[in-house]
Structure 1
Amino acid sequence: MEILSQIPNSVCGFFAIIGLLFLGRKVVSYVRLLLSLFFLSGNNLRKYGPKGTYAMVTGASDGLGKEYAIQLAQKGFSLILVSRTASKLETLSTEISQKYVGSGIQIKTMAMDFSENREEDYASLEALIEDLDIGILVNNVGQSHSIPVPFILTPQKEMMDIIGINVTATLRVTKLVAPGMARRKRGLILTMGSLGGLLPTPLLATYSGSKAFLQQWSTALGGELKSSNVDVQLVISYLVTTAMSKIRKTSLLIPNPRNFVRSVLSKIGRSGGAQNMAYTSTPFWGHGLMQWWLENTFGLGAAYVVEKNRQMHESIRKRALKKAERDSKRN
């Protein structure tokens, strides 16, 4: 206390002001977070075209992609659905067409295996969308590891498929669609990111790196297309009950595809939990709160957080290997 009493009042006042500014910034950030997640609406999707304008969804036959297709059709968009399995696309197309018969919604489908990255497939896709008014592109197609795996043990095909689907396919599809949006001076490019792209994830290193790439690319693209009135938004998610996550039970932090996609489409242009990240949104409230808390406590890239993440995925890997061993013995 005697030492403190010797510090000049001006110095104490200076550090008090610094502390208040720091605290004030955190309070403002938290208020913005709550407003964005719970109170403020996003852009009206009609901004991206009148009823009947096309929305293109990749990875459309299952999970989030299927739900994007259903909810965009509900909002009056015609659809271009691209995915690997033709039979699933046909089933989804029939389901939506029957539900919205007489609505004027048009549906086009194309079966395409993005892991192959065949030139003839992209040529066919370009021909399919030629002269179509595409107002929304949802870059949803993606792949993760079958189970958590150390990078040095990652199968070569799995590694190349993740890069080919998550990175190369996303860029090539966007390269086909974005020029038309820029010419028409309207459009929305939604790309599915992941908290794993912000939070380095041991045992999912290739997947984590691919999503980190999409984060940087999408933000840069948003800066490029802003003058053309084309909105670009990377959507950050944690876990959702999909085939990719292998999770079936919902919780406060794990929504089903319907609720997650609803949060995305209702918060276009809002940052949610992705405070101070341009052209980025974490729209589902549970994911947004978790991201803000991690960023403002330990830090997403802190050694402690990375280590805890490694321990969690090591545990998941051990359980998956034991299950595979039990299954092999039964067979």
Structure 2
Amino acid sequence: MAALDHVPQPAVLGLAAIGAGYALFKFGSFVRLLLSLFVLPGASLSKFGDKGSWAVITGASDGIGKEYALQLARKGFNVVLVSRTESKLRSLAAEIEATHKVQTRIHAMDFAANNDADFTALSQLIADLDVAILINNVGFSHSIPVPFLQTPADEMRDIININCLGTLKATRAVAPKLVARRRGLVLTMASFGGVMPTPLLATYSGSKAFLQHWSTALGAELAPAGVTVQLVQSYLVTSAMSKIRRASATIPTPKAFVKAALSKIGRSGGAQGVAYTSTPFWSHGIMHWAIGSFVGIMNGVTLKFNRDMHESIRKRALRKAEREGKKVA
């Protein structure tokens, strides 16, 4: 306190007011977080299209993409299923038609090939459909955590082709139909890897950061046309990509995650201050809010945590490959 004896009283009061204002702002932000995650509903899917209209889902054959297809079909949307493996698409289409009594169309394509003819064929497939929703779910990551300088060239190429170019071209194929009807939803799956740089997943992390800026800009462009754009941020989910099978409070199943995502359209969750973005699953939202609120502290802590975690994962993967006689990068 002695140090403050020489500070003019108005300055002390001013600093106290700034501190109190900051604390009040953070408290209000936390209350907003809780309301967004646990109380306030998102926009109804009927805002974007009536029952019987169509949803296009990329990466639809497994995991989160499959769950988006199932839950949208359950809500009465017909679905266009887009993914690489035709047999999986046919099986899922048959399941959806039998269970939910809606129509399906399938389009088998390899996003890694970056073949313009595939996207032209997708445009032709949906030409006569009333498309209301596009789910950009297709994604690809490194086979195991790997330093950038050791990342195989084909793996880098596939990540960029699938995560970036595939998402852009699918949106170019579908979004004009949403603009023409003056309503619709473009929902794109992102990742915490794009929120915080992730050592040993550098190319994947960069591709997801790209989607954040692209999607936010697209949201501003399409809003005057009545089209809602939302980037959905997530931490880990049980899936083939994450290689995690057991769900927990911080790692939900695809079913739980997609339920949260579809029920919180238009709500920021933990992504406060980032336009056209949501972190809808409750534990992911709290983590994202903490990262954004204490960025000066969390940047260094999270960077080190990410590096240490993925170095450990890489060591285990290399030991397993050695036991099995496999060669990895």
Shorter-chain TM-score tier: over 0.9
1:77 — aligned with what? 77
**Aligned residue identity for 2:39:** F
1:173 — aligned with what? 170
Q: CA deviation at 1:100?
A: 2.1
**Aligned residue identity for 1:68:** Y
For the 8 Å contact 2:291–2:299, the answer to whether it is kept is no
1:88 has 2:98 as partner: no
Q: Which runs of 5+ in 2 are unaligned?
A: none
1:133 has 2:143 as partner: no
Task: Give the TM-score of the pair, scaled to structure 2.
Answer: 0.97
What RMSD over aligned residues (CA atoms) do the two structures have, in Å? Answer: 1.2
Q: CA deviation at 1:296?
A: 2.3
1:109 — aligned with what? 106
Instruction: For 1:205-244, list aligned pairs within 5 A.
Output: 205-244=202-241
| Matched position secondary structure for 1:13 | helix
Q: CA deviation at 1:254?
A: 0.2
**Aligned residue identity for 1:181:** L
1:20 — aligned with what? 20
**Aligned residue identity for 1:63:** G
| Matched position secondary structure for 1:302 | helix
1:293 has 2:326 as partner: no
2:33 — aligned with what? 33
Q: Distance in 1 between matches of 2:280 and 2:297?
A: 18
Q: Distance in 1 between matches of 2:175 and 2:318?
A: 43
Q: Distance in 2 between matches of 1:298 and 1:185?
A: 38
After superposition, the C-alpha distances for 1:240-294 in whole angstroms (9 at most, x for unaligned) are 0000000001111000000000000000000001011100000000101111122
For the 8 Å contact 2:120–2:173, the answer to whether it is kept is no
After superposition, the C-alpha distances for 1:9-52 in whole angstroms (9 at most, x for unaligned) are 11111001100111111001100100000001000000011111
Q: CA deviation at 1:302?
A: 2.1
Q: Give the direction of change, closer, same or farther, for the CA distance of 1:267–1:137 in structure 2 (3 Å limit).
A: same
Q: Distance in 1 between matches of 2:294 and 2:148?
A: 28
1:155 has 2:141 as partner: no
**Aligned residue identity for 2:119:** Y
Q: Distance in 1 between matches of 2:273 and 2:296?
A: 14
Q: Distance in 1 between matches of 2:291 and 2:229?
A: 25
After superposition, the C-alpha distances for 1:111-168 in whole angstroms (9 at most, x for unaligned) are 1001001122122111101131110000000000000000110011110000000000
Q: Distance in 1 between matches of 2:100 and 2:245?
A: 29
1:246 has 2:243 as partner: yes
Q: CA deviation at 1:5?
A: 2.0
For the 8 Å contact 1:55–1:137, the answer to whether it is kept is yes
For the 8 Å contact 2:112–2:158, the answer to whether it is kept is yes
| Matched position secondary structure for 2:112 | coil
Q: Distance in 2 between matches of 1:324 and 1:289?
A: 36
Q: Distance in 1 between matches of 2:259 and 2:110?
A: 27
Say how many residue pairs are matched: 326
Segments of 4+ in structure 1 off by > 6 A? none
**Aligned residue identity for 1:33:** L
Q: Distance in 1 between matches of 2:313 and 2:72?
A: 35
Task: Give the TM-score of the pair, scaled to structure 1.
Answer: 0.96
1:57 — aligned with what? 57
**Aligned residue identity for 1:266:** S
After superposition, the C-alpha distances for 1:49-104 in whole angstroms (9 at most, x for unaligned) are 11111000000000000000000000000001000000000000000111123xxx
After superposition, the C-alpha distances for 1:191-250 in whole angstroms (9 at most, x for unaligned) are 000000011000000000000000000000000011011000000000000000000011
